[in-house]
Amino acid sequence: MTILLLLLLIGCGYSYFLYPLLLRALLRHPPPQGEEPAELPRLSVIITAYNEEERIAAKIEDTLALDYPAERLELMVCSDASDDATDTIVGRYADQGVRLVRATERRGKEHAQLLGIRAAQGEILVFTDVATRIGRDSLLRLVRYFTNPQIGAVSSEDRCLGADGRVQGEGAYVRYEMWLRGLESRAAGLVGLSGSYFAARREICETEWDIAAPSDFNTAMACARHGLRAISAPDILGYYPSIADERREYARKHRTALRGMTALRRHPDFLSPRRYGLFAFQLFSHKIMRWAVPWFMLATLLLSGAMMAGGSAFATLVFCGELAFLALAALGALTRKLPGSARLPYYFTQVNLALANAAVSLARGQTMVTWQPSRR
């Protein structure tokens, strides 16, 4: 029983601690660096929108102000059958080259993006959300990475903005995720991009787009199918407002997890080490093992509790340690006055509750295709 408890503890921490250590030993590539292209490629910026009448004009204005030759830049807004004034507002920018691509029925973000892909003329397709701000020279930095023929997609790094419009200090969890992305970029590539701002080669999108899978996850897998890597670029930043209502943040985590699980259920072949080698290992370690953490935690609590009743000192330590962690999580849920590091148990527990909820939703046959953009 002690060995089983140890295995459960390893399961709890594998994705977060052991996997990065193993990944460091398997690095294949130097840190990704961009080089100045001989000629700037033609870009198509695809903005996906659903009922964004309050924010779409500002997003278009910001995008038109980006530093990139106008003759090499195509800007389109893909409306997921918006029923407010979004499409009308987009139409006001037609004389500035902004194209409206409208879905005739609401079928979700990825379907709207697919319509944009089919209409786009660019060599590189850039996907971004209405709520995300892009640095003025971001596109010029972005295209430099595509001079490397091994790179199929480039993901931004996220920066969260507070109510005062300033970049909030990065918490330990965000720093950890960016560090892990850097390791994956140097191995077989990212297993998931930043959905708010990423770019991919046109051929990747044309042949592999799945409207039932989240585009950031699907694009990373598509790169692996083409023998290419998806990377995270530390100098390509996407700025977005924080979600003030933590209940909405929980709903976002649940939605993201459910859609990711759905995607992998639709494409289980990517878990084959024979076909995808190191990428399959990364996908299993980062996704499957992380999605399993809440169940490892539950099993650890139950087993250690049962063993503690039998007098096991080790089990008592584990049981009391997990209860203390959950107590800190509950305290974090009750007050926002704790410093960021002290709220880590709360954030960790919230994430894992959302993962468990998503797994139950998947088992019940629930899927999520259409989306309601988070109001930040």
Q: Looking at the domain assignment, is residue 202 inside a domain?
A: yes
Q: In terms of domains, do 234 and 103 share one? A: yes
Q: What single-letter amino acid sits at 66?
A: L
∠ CA 176-351-158, rounded to 5°: 45
Q: Is the pTM of this model over 0.85?
A: yes
Other CB atoms within a 10 A radius of the CB of residue 315 amount to 21
Q: Looking at the domain assignment, is residue 63 inside a domain?
A: yes
Q: In terms of domains, do 87 and 57 share one? A: yes
pLDDT value at position 155?
96
Q: Which of 151, 152, 139, 148 is nearest to 235 (CA)?
A: 139
CATH, residue 208:
3.90.550.10
Convert 70-106 to b/e letters by CB count within 10 Å (16 or more is b): eeebbbbbbbbbbeeebbebbeebeeeebbbbbbeeb
Q: What single-letter amino acid sits at 324?
A: A
φ, ψ of residue 145 to 5 degrees: the values are: -70, -25
pLDDT, one tens digit for every residue, the chain (376 residues): 889 999 999 999 999 999 999 999 989 888 888 788 989 999 999 999 999 999 999 999 999 999 999 999 999 999 999 999 999 999 999 999 999 999 999 999 999 999 999 999 999 999 999 999 999 999 999 999 999 999 999 999 887 765 555 545 445 677 788 899 999 999 999 999 998 999 999 999 998 899 989 999 999 999 999 999 999 999 998 887 766 556 677 888 899 899 999 999 999 999 999 999 999 999 999 999 999 999 999 999 999 999 988 888 999 999 999 999 999 888 888 876 666 566 788 889 999 999 999 999 999 988 766 655 655 5
Q: Looking at the domain assignment, is residue 34 inside a domain?
A: no
Q: Looking at the domain assignment, is residue 178 inside a domain?
A: yes
Other CB atoms within a 10 A radius of the CB of residue 365 amount to 6
Q: In terms of domains, do 82 and 158 share one? A: yes
Q: Which of 80, 45, 48 is nearest to 63 (CA)?
A: 45
Using the 3D structure, point to which of 197, 217, 242 is the last residue of a domain. 242
Q: Looking at the domain assignment, is residue 33 inside a domain?
A: no
Place of tokens 């787009």: 209
Q: Looking at the domain assignment, is residue 37 inside a domain?
A: no
Contact criterion met (CB below 8 Å) for 200 and 125: yes
Using the 3D structure, point to which of 178, 209, 242 is the last residue of a domain. 242
φ, ψ of residue 324 to 5 degrees: the values are: -65, -40
Q: Looking at the domain assignment, is residue 326 inside a domain?
A: yes
CA 56 vs CA 59, 85, 279: distances in Å:
5, 10, 37
295 forms beta bridges with none
Q: In terms of domains, do 322 and 291 share one? A: yes
Integer Cα distance of 233 and 12 in angstroms: 29
Q: In terms of domains, do 71 and 151 share one? A: yes
Using the 3D structure, point to which of 242, 262, 286 is the last residue of a domain. 242
> Residue 293: which residues within 8 A CB-CB, separation 6 or more?
11, 12, 15, 16, 352, 355
Q: In terms of domains, do 20 and 74 share one? A: no
pLDDT value at position 304?
95
What residues make up the domain containing 51?
Answer: 43-242
CA 339 vs CA 322, 327, 328, 329, 373: distances in Å:
21, 16, 12, 13, 29
φ, ψ of residue 107 to 5 degrees: the values are: -130, 10
Q: In terms of domains, do 190 and 280 share one? A: no
Q: In terms of domains, do 97 and 153 share one? A: yes
Q: In terms of domains, do 235 and 321 share one? A: no
Helix locations, the chain, DSSP H: 2-13, 19-25, 56-64, 86-91, 109-119, 138-145, 172-186, 202-208, 215-225, 246-266, 273-283, 289-291, 293-309, 313-334, 344-363
Q: Looking at the domain assignment, is residue 209 inside a domain?
A: yes
Contact criterion met (CB below 8 Å) for 152 and 228: yes
Q: In terms of domains, do 302 and 236 share one? A: no
Look at the chain and report how many structural domains it folds into. 2
Q: In terms of domains, do 298 and 357 share one? A: yes
Q: In terms of domains, do 133 and 198 share one? A: yes
